Each structure stands twice: as structure tokens, then as C-alpha cells.
A = this chain, B = another copy of it.
Amino acid sequence: MATLGDVAARAGVSISAVSRVLSNHPSARVSEATRVRIVDAARDLQYRPNFAGRALKSARTQVIGLVVPDLTNALFTELMHGAEDEARACDYTVLLGRSDDVRPGGEVIERLIGEGRVDGMVVQVGDGVPPAGLGDLLASNAPIVLINSAYPGHVGSVALDDETGARLATQHLVDLGHRDIVLANGLPRSFTAKRRRVGYQRALTDAGIAVDRTRELRLGYTAANGRAALRRLLALEVRPSAVVVANVNAAVGLLAEARAHGIRVPDDLSVVCVHDSWTAENTWPPLTAVKMQFYAMGRTAVRGVIARIETGAMVDEVITDPAPELIVRESTAPYPS
């Protein structure tokens, strides 16, 4: 690979002149002639600035780490796009990582920051035990923005409007005439589950329907959890006519399990879920879902980390604009009169 020195030699100028020109330094008062010579030489040699050299000198990598529990979860498609778009706009790059990595020595987050591989991070901690050592890191005031998750005392987070999302989903069922609506939620300790629960209860209360704790299942966000939720539903004394599933992946599992048990959706059971993804349109029946604004969350989170890096500011935000959006498909139907 060509270095600044190579370019300088070819253009017949000094290394610093090349550096100034190629990084459009504001103080690059350079004659047009040499500028052209330098640019030409760089092109001819296919010059690319060496990452390590630049990072070492400037103590900056222009890289933001994005760490989520499961990278291949289709839900994160938009999150990544949002993060990348914002990063690109600010001259940063996004580095992806997984946090489900609980193996010893797999303290990804600490390493990325500690070794100076990234300037800051956007992290979603899973619903299980938070990665050991994360507390120390956050306390150390590193440029970390949490998404869809929380850590006691940490400032610097961006969350989706889970409450509104769950409320819209529940409201939709209420509007269809349902009164006995079960919530198939995430694990009780989960940050998002708590918020979705509030939205669910609020919709019921607004409609004058009594909230009943026995109608709240708290199993988790995977397809297997959704299947388990359906079985719990079947075991109830009185079967609900509708269910709000707090996650689209769980809803996919719930739907499959319903077919297996001969429950017809939406005739016997209306199903609506929080989160949309390509899978939701390809179930049968296609799932009515509340689309959450992952793209905006990605952009906002990255913007937040960069602000923290460059100005020191740190805030907690909730994405309310655009608002969560109900997408009616065919898994919900009016309550049979």
C-alpha cells in the first residue's frame, strides 16, 4: 500500500503538504498547481490513508461500535441502516458486534473501548444478566449509549416508544370489540417488557376494562417463547378472544403453535404484535403488527454517541417521532357478536 511518503515523492513535495491536501485541512493554503500534482499522484498510486497511523496520531478511530444481542435478528435490519446512515453523514463508520457472547474473555464491549478500536458504542444489553463489568464501564463515563435497555444510574440512552406501541396494539383489539385481551410479554425484568406492559394496561383502562394480572404472560421474545405462550393460553379456564404479543418473533411462534392446536386465527383468536419485519407479512394469516421506529433509533443513538464524543453532552431520549404505526393485516378480526 502506498503511504504519504510515496505520494510525496511522486509529486515532488513534502509529506506534510500531501497530508494537508488530502485531508482538506482548512489551513491548507496550497497553490493550485501543487494541489493538482498531489491529487494526481495519490490517484495514480491508489493512495489510502492508513487506519492505524491516523488513529494512533489522532487518538480517534472515527468508528462507533454497535452491539446487539443477536445480529441476525431481522428486526435489526433498520436499526443498522439508521446507524450506518447517520454515521456516514458524520464521517464515522459502524462496527458490528454481538453481546450474547457471555463466554469468558468475551467482554466485547470492554475490549473495543479499552483497546481503542472504537471511539464510542451503541449497546443493547439483552434481557438476561447484563454483561459483567458493564457497570464499571458505564460508571467510567465512556461514550456509551444504551438502546432499548437500561442500566441503573446510567445517563445516555435511546429507546423506542414501547408504551405507545403496546397501547396502539391493544387499542386496535379494543376497537374491534375485544374485552378479554391477554398480553404475551417479555421477561418481567426486561426493560422493554415493563414499558409495553404499561401501554397495554393503559389501553385497557382507557376503555374501562379491568386489568387482570392473570392475563399477563411473561415468557420472552423468541418463537419458542411464543409457542409456550399459546399453550398457556389454552390452559386458561376462560380463553381470551385476543392476544397482544410483545414481539414479532414470539408472535410467529405463537401462530404456528395455534395452527398445531387447531386454533383458527383470527376467528378463534385475534393476534397482534409489537414490531414488524418481513416475517410478519409471510405468516398465515399475515400478522397485524405495530411497526416500531428502529431506523430512527439507530440514527438517534449514533448521533448521541457522536455528540458525547465531540461535545460531552449526554441525554436520554425516546423516539416518539415518527410514532409507532399500526399495520393492519389479517390476524385480527372483530369480536364475534
A residues whose Cβ falls under 8 Å from a Cβ of B: 1, 46, 48-53, 55-56, 61, 70-77, 80, 95-98, 111, 114-117, 223, 227, 252-253, 255-256, 259-260, 278-279, 281-286
A74 — which chain B residues lie within 8 A by C-beta?
A: 72-74
Cα A223 to Cα B286 with chains together (Å): 13
Establish whether residues B76 and A72, one from each chain, have CB atoms under 8 Å apart when the complex forms.
yes
From the candidates B50, B72, B282, B283, name the one contacting A73 in the complex (CB within 8 A).
B72
From the candidates B50, B70, B111, B256, name the one contacting A116 in the complex (CB within 8 A).
B50
From the candidates B51, B71, B115, name the one contacting A115 in the complex (CB within 8 A).
B51
From the candidates B48, B80, B115, name the one contacting A49 in the complex (CB within 8 A).
B115
Minimum CB distance partner of A253 in chain B = B282
Find the residue from A51, A61, A253 having the highest chain B CB count within 10 A: A51
Establish whether residues B114 and A286, one from each chain, have CB atoms under 8 Å apart when the complex forms.
no
A116 — which chain B residues lie within 8 A by C-beta?
A: 1, 50-52
Find the residue from A75, A282, A283 having the highest chain B CB count within 10 A: A282
Known A71-B71, A96-B71; contact A48-B114, beta-carbon cutoff 8 A: yes
Cα A117 to Cα B1 with chains together (Å): 12
**14 examples of A-B residue contacts, CB within 8 angstroms:** A1-B116, A48-B114, A48-B115, A51-B117, A52-B52, A53-B56, A71-B71, A72-B72, A72-B80, A80-B98, A95-B95, A223-B281, A253-B282, A256-B283
A252 — which chain B residues lie within 8 A by C-beta?
A: 279, 282
A255 — which chain B residues lie within 8 A by C-beta?
A: 282, 284
Give the Cβ gap from A131 to chain B, nearest Cβ, in Å.
16
Minimum CB distance partner of A285 in chain B = B259
Minimum CB distance partner of A66 in chain B = B96
